[in-house]
Structure 1
Amino acid sequence: MEVVFRNSAREVLHKDKLLLNREELMDCSAWEAVQEERKPFWDLRFRQFYSDGIHIGYCNGDVHQELHVSTVEQAPMPCIAFLQQGDIVTMAHGEEQPQHFTSGEHNILLNAYTTAATVYKKQQDLKVFVLSFLPERFLALAENTSPVMEALAEYVAGKKPSFHKDCQNLPLTPKMHMLIESMKACGYRGGLRKLFLQSKALELLALQCAQLEEREKRPVPGAKLFPEDIRKVHQAREILLHDLQHPPSMSVLARQSGLNTFKLKAGFKHVFGNTVFGYLKDHRLEQARNMIREGDRTVTAVAYETGYSTLQHFSNEFKKKYGLSPKEVKGSRL
């Protein structure tokens, strides 16, 4: 699989292999590399570390001209992209709106290393830090942590409206900067290096999730809902539940129902007493329990039909809600 570099006129400048291949990571237990890349269009230095499902990557350098970079689509590899310095616009595969990062911002991406297009402005001293996880590792970390982490896990597991798409980028805090710089400067070797980098990576993830939790708690100015808005919220519910395996993203759901995302979110809370994500999750699990009670499907089939990409994640969510595993319900017919 390759990555294609184009100029502002969309002329191909260069083709190369992907910097990070998810499938290759899954076949190794640990890996570290340092790379310098000098091309007419940029001079960059990359450093990467991978171990136990956690990938840490950072680069810095100069971009000599506006650059448009595209790759083939890969499976999800959830990550937090921290732009310490620079200006980048990225468009994920399947998305309709670009995500613009400027200095001192971070956000969640489904896969930072495979995008439909990423635009680098001409700039000096670009500094990017990326913390990525194999999906299985992230799902394990997210279990029984916080509502934000669980929502992210559902997003990573796939087949639900994107969690972060309508969220603005968050600011890097001094603590985040300090952690990132300590990871860059890590002087340990061997097992101590692995322990240090993994611990700091998890601390960085916790800081970001705490920041997201804090934002979720902030009061949102009320939006006056007219009868027509309420009707559209009910219409949005029907669209959302029409295909549990492939529900629309938040922005697509808003557009199809004729609401902006703010009124869609506020309307769901007002009408159904739940978030869009929360409502979908509860409906999926209720449908799953009904299917299991009927007894004519395997638990694996039920998980797939209700939109879960892994049996383990489905079983964890099911037991968390009902206190019994899917197999226990199937055996007892409760």
Structure 2
Amino acid sequence: MLFSFTATPDFDFITYFARHIQATVQNGLLVIPDQLGQGYIRKLAFGPDFKITIHRYLLKEDLIVKRHTSGQGNDLITVFFYNNEQALQIAYDEDTQVLFSQRDESAIQVTSNDLSSTLRFPARQQIQYVVVAIKPPRLTDLLAISEPNSVLQTITGNGNSFLFFERMGAETKLLLKNMAALDMTNQLSHFYMQIKVQELLYLVFHKLSLRESAAHQPINSADAERLLYIRSEIISDLSVPPLIRELAQVAAMSETKLKQLFKQTFGITIYTYYQQARMEEAAFLLKQGKHSVGEVGYELGFSNLSHFSRVFEKQYGLNPKRYSSS
């Protein structure tokens, strides 16, 4: 199933999607028809400039959502929380789709509404994601920061094109779970949700506020597509460190531009991203209990297991042996 729309400032996803699948919206709730699957989409508005849409469903066929930029400016900030174990395919250009989220990698996306994108949600898999849409003046009032860093200045500024990714921590996952489980017939449910959505935004923007200030490089859909592809290349073989020269050639960018845009988008350098992903894979393998510490270290390209233990302990606070038995 293909749903395509243009992201105009007044576009309301749930209304147009309901028309597309010939369903109705009642009190902000769209129940997925039985012939398409099961689940729901819920929208809550906290004024004309601040709303949240909660998606929880399992569909009988793939769902492809194409968002086209309206060309009317970017006066809306979108924060996308993808809380699934299954990877999601995303594209910012029409050419290729790459994986957006695997385990906890880059599961939160903050973007201006002038970037086109295509999302593919697989059939017969539980889909859970949340989209918060807020206008810059409202976000500025909520944050109430007297001296924001360059990232927050870019997001809350006028007419900037941006794309930032953050990892989803345990606190955010628990918050999303509690929000989804709320009994919306409770008279104070709307009040509760408004508080929790602001808490969600706090967790995201607290992380973004800690990023290093640097001059912002404008980004377009083609750049975003290349960056996701480079990220996919980095994690495709975690036993081999990335070579900036080769990645720059793949991205058709200068090495300087690639390094700047990658750090701006993901908050860390290419090598740091690689090393974190490497340790996350090590933690995953160790928790499975099917591999020894030595096997995991060698599989991830470490010839010196003492070095592997030091790098792992730096990220997780425990050496690999203690972590696997904890």
Letter in 2 for 1:65: E
Q: Tell me whether 1:258 sits opposite 2:246 in the alignment.
A: no
Q: Tell me whether 1:23 sits opposite 2:10 in the alignment.
A: yes
TM-score normalized with structure 2 length? 0.51
Mapped partners of 1:41, 1:194: distance in 2: 28
Residue of structure 2 in register with 1:181 after alignment: 177
Question: What's the C-alpha RMSD, in Å, of the aligned pairs?
Answer: 4.4
Residue of structure 2 in register with 1:90 after alignment: 90
Letter in 1 for 2:58: D
Q: 1:92 to 1:51 in 2, by over 3 A?
A: farther
Unaligned runs of 5+ in 1: 7-14, 26-30, 218-236, 241-246, 269-334
Q: Which has the larger radius of gyration?
A: 1
Mapped partners of 2:96, 2:160: distance in 1: 17
Mapped partners of 1:188, 1:66: distance in 2: 28
Mapped partners of 2:34, 2:206: distance in 1: 39
Residue of structure 2 in register with 1:38 after alignment: 33
Letter in 2 for 1:205: L
Q: Tell me whether 1:54 sits opposite 2:50 in the alignment.
A: yes
Residue of structure 2 in register with 1:138 after alignment: 139
Q: 1:142 to 1:152 in 2, by over 3 A?
A: farther
Mapped partners of 1:33, 1:108: distance in 2: 24
- 1:256-314 deviation per Cα after TM superposition (whole angstroms, max 9, x unaligned): 8723445447999xxxxxxxxxxxxxxxxxxxxxxxxxxxxxxxxxxxxxxxxxxxxxx
Counterpart contact for 1:56–1:130, Cα < 8 Å: yes
Mapped partners of 2:95, 2:110: distance in 1: 14
- 1:200, CA displacement in angstroms? 1.4
Counterpart contact for 2:52–2:131, Cα < 8 Å: yes
Q: How many residues align?
A: 215
- 1:151, CA displacement in angstroms? 2.8
Kindly indicate whether structure 1 or structure 2 has the higher relative contact order, using CA contacts under 8 Å at least 6 residues apart. Answer: 2
TM-score normalized with structure 1 length? 0.50
Counterpart contact for 1:69–1:119, Cα < 8 Å: yes
Mapped partners of 2:64, 2:96: distance in 1: 17
- Percent identity, aligned pairs only? 13
Unaligned runs of 5+ in 2: 13-25, 227-247, 265-326
Residue of structure 2 in register with 1:196 after alignment: 192
- 1:158, CA displacement in angstroms? 2.2
Q: 1:89 to 1:267 in 2, by over 3 A?
A: closer
- 1:139, CA displacement in angstroms? 3.9
Name which of structure 1's ranges 258-267 and 32-41 shifts more when overlaid on structure 2.
Answer: 258-267
Q: 1:106 to 1:35 in 2, by over 3 A?
A: same
